[in-house]
Amino acid sequence: MNDAPENHLPPAGALLRRARAASEAELADVPWLAHLDDRDRQLAASRIQVVQTEPGDLVCRIGKAPTYWFGVIDGLLKMSNDSSAGTPITFAGLPPGAWFGEGTLLKREPYRYNVQALRRSTVAGLDIETFHWLLDNSIAFNRFVMRQLNERLGQFIAAREIDRMNDPDARVARSLAALFHPVLYPGVGHLLRITQQELGALVGLSRQRVNEALHVLQDLGLIRIEYGGLRVLDLQGLQRQVVRGLQE
């Protein structure tokens, strides 16, 4: 096994200047740490930084070189290609438990998307050198990253298909099904804390149209609208609703 990488972090940007070490409670919400052996887990935990983001803050910016692998401890982020170069496309909403950007770190290439906070959020980051060291030395970490890449690929393909649809109900169903993904977003469980305005920002619809779609899905027995969030009652049924929308 190679020696642990030295902790030479890249120069701090606006967010990194506010970063701090993760607390024990925050580390407990990092899903992949539990898969590592004791030595690797202690190393990774010592390198994880945490920052509080405000609505509108950019965690990742198109064209910037990657320096950290990011994860959501609390809050909600949006991954999109929002730029003046073309039609904006939202690739994914990123709720608690989401870790993202591993493909960009693997290739060490500039970001091809923005990741922006939709609300005040707690975001964790593992520096790129420790990320690559774990890839070189930890089979468990490799398995986690490979599974992430595989699941994310399927999610992006579905997102591209839905963006071509004109059925708002199916688009909302697809976004919800993605946000409740048990592998990519294990921190969500069955209850997602999200407002209709935030969901509208992810789907590209008005709050009023999102409200109509949510009531359609609730009437079908797929979700329940609760104070401050949404509870999924039938995830498989929600996924079938997306497929049905694609076939029509």
Domains, the chain, in order of start with CATH, read: 16-156 (2.60.120.10), 165-247 (1.10.10.10)
- Please list, in sequence order, all residues whose beta carbon lies within 8 angstroms of the beta carbon of residue 214, skipping any fewer than 6 positions away: 172, 196, 199, 223, 225, 230
Q: In this model, does residue 8 exceed pLDDT 50?
A: no
Q: In this model, does residue 7 exceed pLDDT 80?
A: no
pLDDT of residue 12: 41
Condensed to tens digits (0 to 9), the pLDDT of residues 191-229 reads 889 999 999 988 888 999 999 999 999 999 999 999 889
pLDDT of residue 125: 95
Condensed to tens digits (0 to 9), the pLDDT of residues 141-179 reads 999 999 999 888 777 766 666 666 678 888 888 888 888
Q: In this model, does residue 10 exceed pLDDT 50?
A: no
Burial (CB count <10 Å: 0-12, 13-18, 19+), residue 85:
exposed
| Sequence letter at residue 113 | Y
- Please list, in sequence order, all residues whose beta carbon lies within 8 angstroms of the beta carbon of residue 53, skipping any fewer than 6 positions away: 15, 59, 75, 77, 117, 120, 121, 122, 123
Confidence of residue 94 (pLDDT cuts 50, 70, 90): very high
| Sequence letter at residue 105 | L
Condensed to tens digits (0 to 9), the pLDDT of residues 27-86 reads 999 999 999 999 999 999 999 999 999 998 999 999 999 999 999 999 999 998 865 556
